[in-house]
Amino acid sequence: MVKELKYNRILLKLSGESLMGGKGHGIDPQMLDFFAREIRKIHELGVQIGIVIGGGNIYRGLNAAEQGIDRVTGDHMGMLATMINALALQNTLEKNGMFTRLTSAIQMDEIAEPYIRRRVVRHLEKGRIVIFGAGTGHPYFSTDTAASLRAVEIKADAIIKGTRVDGVYDSDPEKNPDAAFFNEISYSDVMNKDLRVMDLTAISLCKENSLPIIVFNINIEDNLLKLITDGNIGTSVGHYDLNSTNLI
């Protein structure tokens, strides 16, 4: 018996760094294959999946100034890095038996479709996984903001943000063993407490459109599947009253 899905259409946000695995840089094929297997599990249930992936494993536009590179130029370099990751992920997903479409916010006709919202929605309805590359196509906007924007545009049920920790904490759990975990937290508290779930532009866009953000550890096998079917994984960011925020 197939379980009822918690979310039918999602925007999965992955960091570029998540592709590094144990290599410390670049792309680890084992991580790509792991992500593809995890994504296939929910794809086989009929979940419509859009994906935004960062480029931090290859190049970070925010660090461009330290190298003497103009911010706009650096951000454009970062957009190209996201396309490298997107192509790698697309290739691995298709090797694992899934149909995909890669779209780009900047013109790259030889390797990706231009981003056209109605066309993307049709791809999703046909069961194709859509990967959104090149961010928003504009400098000064992160891939977090791109994920929020695309999720709103395609009317996703939620942004699912895969990280290497179990969810949102009041401090970095990798540095503070006593960090407290939130089951639920409001958009406002995320911003006021500077919890760095996503950047402020992305959080504000989600808040304005009442788009839930689920933060979870994607590196644990079957976590994504459990999130989609049970919903009791990670931290949910949404319109919660301060007094009802569940801190454990």
Positions in the chain whose pLDDT score sits under 70: 1-3, 61-65, 241-248
28-85 pLDDT, tens digit each: 999 999 999 999 999 999 999 999 999 999 987 666 667 789 989 999 999 999 999 9
Say how many C-beta atoms besides its own lie within 10 A of residue 243's C-beta: 5
**pLDDT score of 240:** 80
146-160 pLDDT, tens digit each: 999 999 999 999 999
- Tokens, residue 105: 């916010």
**pLDDT score of 241:** 64
**Which structural domains are found in the chain, ordered by start?**
9-244 (3.40.1160.10)
Q: How far is CA 57 from CA 64, 147, 159, in A?
A: 14, 18, 21
Identify the residue whose tokens are 């760094």.
17
**pLDDT score of 246:** 52
Burial class (CB in 10 A: 0-12, 13-18, 19+), 105: buried
Supply the pTM of this predicted model: 0.93
Phi, psi of 145 (to 5 degrees): -65, -40
**pLDDT score of 148:** 98
